[in-house]
Structure 1
Amino acid sequence: MDVITRSIPECHGNRPVNTQIKQRIAENFSRAAHSYDNAAVLQKRVAARTMLGLPAQLEKKNAPNQIQRVIDLGAGTGLHSLTLADRYSDAMITGMDLAMGMLEFARQNAPDHPRLSWCSGDIESVPFQSNSIDLIYSSLAIQWCGFEQVLSEVGRVLKPGCSFVFSTLAEGSLQELNTAWCLAGERDRVNRFDRFEAQKQTVARSELIRQAFSLKAETLYYPDVITLLRSLKALGVNTVLAGKHGLVTRRRLDALKHAYEPLRQPEGLPLTYQVIYGVLQKPF
Structure 2
Amino acid sequence: MTDASPYRLDKRRVRATFDQAASSYDEAAVLQREVCSRLLERLQWVKLDPARVLDAGAGTGQGAQGLKRLYKGSRVVALDLSPAMLRLTAKGAGWWRKPGLVCADVESLPFADASFDLIFSSLTVQWCNDLDRALAEFRRVLSPQGLLMFTTLGPDTLVELRRAWEVVDGRAHVNAFMDMHDIGDALVRAGFADPVMDVERMTVTYPDVRGLMRDLKAIGATNALSGRGRGLTGPGRLRALEAAYEEYRQEGLLPASYEVVYGHAWVPDAPAPSGLPKGAIPIRAG
Matched, 1:225 2:209: yes
Q: Quick check: 2:188–2:195 contact (8 Å CA) kept in 1?
A: no
Matched, 1:113 2:95: yes
Matched, 1:79 2:68: no
Match of residue 255, structure 1, among 222, 237, 240: 240
Matched, 1:123 2:106: yes
Letter in 1 for 2:204: L
Q: Quick check: 2:7–2:176 contact (8 Å CA) kept in 1?
A: no
Letter in 2 for 1:30: D
1:244-268: CA deviation from partner (whole Å, max 9, x where unpaired): 3121100000001111112111261
Matched, 1:139 2:122: yes
Deviation at 1:140, TM superposition (A): 0.3
Deviation at 1:270, TM superposition (A): 0.6
Matched, 1:208 2:192: yes
Shift of the 108–155 alpha-carbon distance from structure 1 to 2, 3 Å rule, reads same
Q: Unpaired segments of 5 or more residues in structure 1? A: 1-11, 59-64
Match of residue 13, structure 1, among 2, 5, 21: 2
Match of residue 273, structure 1, among 254, 258, 276: 258
Structure 1 length-normalised TM? 0.87
Letter in 1 for 2:200: K
CA distance in 1, matches of 2:17, 2:189: 33
Shift of the 166–221 alpha-carbon distance from structure 1 to 2, 3 Å rule, reads same
Matched, 1:48 2:51: no
Deviation at 1:197, TM superposition (A): 2.2
Deviation at 1:195, TM superposition (A): 2.1
CA distance in 2, matches of 1:114, 1:177: 39
Q: Quick check: 2:19–2:83 contact (8 Å CA) kept in 1?
A: yes
Give the equivalent residue in structure 1 for 2:274.
none
CA distance in 2, matches of 1:71, 1:139: 11
CA distance in 1, matches of 2:201, 2:194: 21
Superposition RMSD in Å: 2.2
Q: Unpaired segments of 5 or more residues in structure 2? A: 270-286
Letter in 2 for 1:108: K
Give the equivalent residue in structure 2 for 1:194.
178
- Secondary structure at the aligned position of 2:60 is classed as coil
Match of residue 23, structure 1, among 12, 25, 41: 12
- Secondary structure at the aligned position of 1:90 is classed as coil
Deviates more, 1:129-138 or 1:207-216: 207-216
Q: Quick check: 2:173–2:225 contact (8 Å CA) kept in 1?
A: no
CA distance in 2, matches of 1:168, 1:19: 17
CA distance in 2, matches of 1:20, 1:193: 12
Give the equivalent residue in structure 1 for 2:273.
none
Give the equivalent residue in structure 2 for 1:8.
none
**Number of matched residues?**
266
1:144-173: CA deviation from partner (whole Å, max 9, x where unpaired): 112111110111111100100000112121
- Secondary structure at the aligned position of 2:257 is classed as strand
1:157-214: CA deviation from partner (whole Å, max 9, x where unpaired): 1110010000011212110001111122342111111222222221222210134211
- Secondary structure at the aligned position of 2:10 is classed as helix
CA distance in 2, matches of 1:105, 1:149: 28
Match of residue 73, structure 2, among 75, 86, 90: 90
Deviation at 1:75, TM superposition (A): 0.4
Q: Which runs of 4+ in 1 moved over 6 A?
A: 16-20
Give the share of equivalent positions with the same residue, in percent: 36
CA distance in 2, matches of 1:258, 1:16: 28
CA distance in 2, matches of 1:15, 1:185: 20
1:78-130: CA deviation from partner (whole Å, max 9, x where unpaired): 121111111110011111001111111211222x2156821111101111110
CA distance in 1, matches of 2:244, 2:117: 48
